[in-house]
Amino acid sequence: MNSLPEARVVTDPDVIDSYARDRTFVAPGKPLGVVLAASRDDVVTTLKWATEHRVPVVPRGAGTGLAGAAVAGDGVIVLSLARMTAIKELSPADEIAVVEPGVITADLDRAAREHGLMYAPDPSSYEISTIGGNLATNAGGLRCVKYGVTRDSTLGLEVVLADGRILNTGRRTMKGVTGYDLTGLFVGSEGTLGVITSATVRLRRAPAVPPATFAAEFGSPRDAGAAVSAIMAAGCQPSLMELLDRTTLKAIDDWRNIGLEDATQAMLIGQSDAADGQAMAERMQRICLDNGASFVAVSSTPEEAEELIGVRRLAYGAKERMGACLVEDVCVPRSKLAEMIIAIEEAAARHGVLIATAAHAGDGNLHPVFIFDHGTLEPPAEVWAAADEVFTTALRLGGTLTGEHGVGLLKRRWLAMEAGPVAAEVQNGIKAVFDPLGILNPGKAI
Amino acid sequence: MNSLPEARVVTDPDVIDSYARDRTFVAPGKPLGVVLAASRDDVVTTLKWATEHRVPVVPRGAGTGLAGAAVAGDGVIVLSLARMTAIKELSPADEIAVVEPGVITADLDRAAREHGLMYAPDPSSYEISTIGGNLATNAGGLRCVKYGVTRDSTLGLEVVLADGRILNTGRRTMKGVTGYDLTGLFVGSEGTLGVITSATVRLRRAPAVPPATFAAEFGSPRDAGAAVSAIMAAGCQPSLMELLDRTTLKAIDDWRNIGLEDATQAMLIGQSDAADGQAMAERMQRICLDNGASFVAVSSTPEEAEELIGVRRLAYGAKERMGACLVEDVCVPRSKLAEMIIAIEEAAARHGVLIATAAHAGDGNLHPVFIFDHGTLEPPAEVWAAADEVFTTALRLGGTLTGEHGVGLLKRRWLAMEAGPVAAEVQNGIKAVFDPLGILNPGKAI
């Protein structure tokens, strides 16, 4: 591995192992080494070396992915971008920032807020995940119901291609149609087309007031789903709208005692960050009552808002207490939300599997979490059988296999069901244009 | 041309000629014929025939393009999608529609409004242009300052590839990250990668109240530009914000006598379609006054709003009266708006060319219209010299050659300045994946 940027290369097996994993259970192989890139030049050097020696490269940010896209196999080089943490520019006048891929997403958001702006995409991992990883997976989050996903905030990229050439895509302007949309092509491509070394992202005005929050309890997922549809149809424009199913609520209640009623089968928590947010939260509250909610609360102070949204924040921790978690990520047309939740409950019952679901309800994006015994290294067969049923149902309802986590390794076996053979051929063709030797994160995404 | 869908083929030379042009001055060649496709099968048949006989195909919608992308050369087949006008589905619950490419954009918007929804992208041509054409150019419009461009409203596509294979891209859901973003790749590709035969588009809630409108006159473009920046920085979220330069205002005044003051060098017209639109328009009015506006009006009725916005609607007609028009389309970072207007004025003076500019100011997207003698079939040399200066300045300011019209034929000679050789190689590589024989709209876009 000489000619690799020497000071950046790690070959200690324990360190390598820690850089070969993500947040899935997928066991990594034994990579040759890890490059801790500190600059674009380090990335260029690494990729030129990899091309010359035909060695696969697995790029990674913070390794918080949930689909296995950053899991590294035998004999590869892991290319970590986590040390490229510069916010190179932040222009309040143009509402853009230019950042290196290792910037922690929440750090960019905080830097923007010093100027009355925000970086909108907020995956649940945003305090620990990087912009580079967010770009690689086209990460979503809670606010995307109002502000869109990572792609909607990405204007341009600097990318190092597999052979070390540098490609600039996109622009600094709000609009632009010069040539094909290469920026959009890289966002969500999971490091299989090139390594992003800089991104020009769009910032937005931060809301002037703290968000107003409501929470509502429902006796059935169907009522909760109807309330979601009615809220969106009324044009309330929630800045966040999360749904928790009975199993999730039970897990939270067992841990922190939130006084869960027996009759409560689903909870909806929503926010408005608009200037008239308080009125809007009250309007959403009324819509929930009109759709059968048994209990509804609206915050009147930021502290109360934090308390209501706090329940949502407990969801994942409550599930992790109960066992190992396979976090899934289907997305359906919004009108099918309740149907999807019921289908998940049926799959859980049929296969004897514990599935707790939280959803970005306004987007129809559900995260069924399959909980299984910590003792098993991999999810047992019944978990996969239930997951298969969930995926098949999502597709039947006009949905997709993954709303925001990506395909990685975990979803590849279902990919053909959604995309079909022509799409597969075309995607392989595109991959070959950028990476003819197939050294960039092989076996992922497509 | 037997084996082409016979009933759909037109070979009358006059009719062919009318299908070989767009809204530019570019002279077409002599196509072999025109196929008036009425179904996806017609498109498949046409493309299979074209592949077999190695005949180039120029797809087109309504031919309202301003970059020459639909201009057809010698020996090609023109493939018109204008007869595929079905709105196949409109789902208020999921806020989506599935449409054929020949649907007139405003017709889709009207159909959506029957359900309290709207189709947001509104290029100035939206009463005569088609969704297919809008997709091919990634069309923008007045409302995109708030709602984004065509790509931001496109969820999925059905595309016939050059060899007649059918590719489905994207999804019906609000989010999705399965595989590469092929949908985004087709939007804006000007018919060079495939022929779109169906699109799943996102609808949005239509505003509940008519928009409130303000108009402001400024003594200099710099003051107007400062007002634009201040309005955006204040988070006013205009749903439209147009800037007219002195030459445009003079042309309108000469035609319709709007009482233009000598001191007025620029006019800003803005709207808010928010629930608190009236208050927001008044706030924007105050910001204009704070930035040196000499006269400001705010509508208090929908009729007054129509009157104020009516001035903007006269802009293009007023210019067409004065001569032949080359409509250009640069986009700069918003903070550079005034600098760009001044550079355009300087280029006009230096080259002795009449340039009248209207801008989608909130996006930094300017349309300098180069007006020349009707007697010349093509723009004279000094127009191209001035245009070259305008393009060069836009790029120097961190801008782009085209915000929303596309590259077509007209911008190709400047493309390398913006995109660079690596991007060109990559784009040619992508083109070859989809269209290895190079029969789809050759010589356009890239």
Alpha helices in B358-411, H assignment, sequence order: 381-396
Q: Answer yes or no: do B407 and A151 touch at CB < 8 A.
A: no
Arithmetic mean of pLDDT, B307-328: 91
Q: pLDDT at position B1, please?
A: 60
How far from the centroid of its chain's Cα atoms is residue B181's Cα? Answer: 22
Close Cβ partners of A278 (under 8 Å, ≥ 6 residues apart)? A212, A272, A298, A300
What is d(CA B178, CA A424) in angstroms, rounded to the nearest whole number? 11
User: What are B196-227's pLDDT values in tens digits?
Assistant: 999 999 999 999 889 999 999 999 999 999 99
What is d(CA A92, CA A202) in angstroms, rounded to the nearest whole number? 10
Give residue A2's pLDDT band: very low, low, confident or very high (50, 70, 90): low
Locate A140 and state its tokens: 């979503």
Q: Answer yes or no: do B173 and A138 touch at CB < 8 A.
A: no
Does pLDDT of A128 surpass 80? yes
Start-end of CATH 3.30.70.2740 domains in chain B: 323-434
CA-closest candidate to residue A433, choices A186, A154, A66? A186
CB atoms within 10 A of CB B9: 17
Start-end of CATH 3.30.70.2190 domains in chain B: 208-318
User: What are B126-167's pLDDT values in tens digits?
Assistant: 999 999 999 999 999 999 999 999 999 999 999 999 999 999
CA-closest candidate to residue A368, choices A399, A351, A343, A350? A343
Q: pLDDT at position A378, please?
A: 86
DSSP A364: T
CATH code of B323-434, in short, is 3.30.70.2740
Mean predicted lDDT score pLDDT of chain A: 95
Q: Tell me which fold the domain B6-80 belongs to.
A: 3.30.43
Q: pLDDT at position B2, please?
A: 58
Start-end of CATH 3.30.70.2190 domains in chain A: 208-319
Residue carrying the six token digits 């290895």:
B436
CA-closest candidate to residue B200, choices A333, A230, A141, A121? A333
Arithmetic mean of pLDDT, B275-290: 94
B208-318: CATH class: alpha beta
Arithmetic mean of pLDDT, A50-63: 97
Start-end of CATH 3.30.465.10 domains in chain A: 87-205
CB A307 within 8 A of CB A353: no
Q: How is domain A208-319 classified at the architecture level of CATH?
A: 2-Layer Sandwich (3.30)
Instruction: Tell me the chain A residues in contact with residue B333 when contact means C-beta distances shorter than 8 Å.
Output: 91, 93-94, 96, 172-173
A11 exposed, middle or buried (CB, 10 Å; 0-12, 13-18, 19+)?
Answer: exposed
In the stretch 98-157 of chain B, residues with CB closer than 8 A to chain A read: 116, 137-138, 140, 144-145, 148-149, 151-152
Arithmetic mean of pLDDT, B227-238: 94
Per DSSP (E only), the strands in A304-407 are 324-327, 330-331, 354-360, 365-372
Give residue A441's pLDDT band: very low, low, confident or very high (50, 70, 90): very high
Q: Answer yes or no: do B175 and A404 touch at CB < 8 A.
A: yes
- The complex's ipTM works out to 0.95
Does pLDDT of A342 surpass 70? yes
Nearest CB to A423 within list B167, B174, B445: B167
Q: pLDDT at position A416, please?
A: 87
User: What are A365-416's pLDDT values in tens digits?
Assistant: 999 999 999 887 789 999 999 999 999 999 999 999 999 999 999 888 898 8
Q: Tell me which fold the domain A323-412 belongs to.
A: Alpha-Beta Plaits (3.30.70)
Give residue A109's pLDDT band: very low, low, confident or very high (50, 70, 90): very high
What is d(CA B130, CA B128) in angstroms, rounded to the nearest whole number? 7
Query: Residue A295's beta-bridge partner residues?
Result: A217
CATH code of B87-205, in short, is 3.30.465.10
Nearest residue of chain A to residue B360 (CA atoms): A175
Start-end of CATH 3.30.43.10 domains in chain B: 6-80
Query: Distance from A189 to chain B by nearest Cα, in Å?
Result: 6
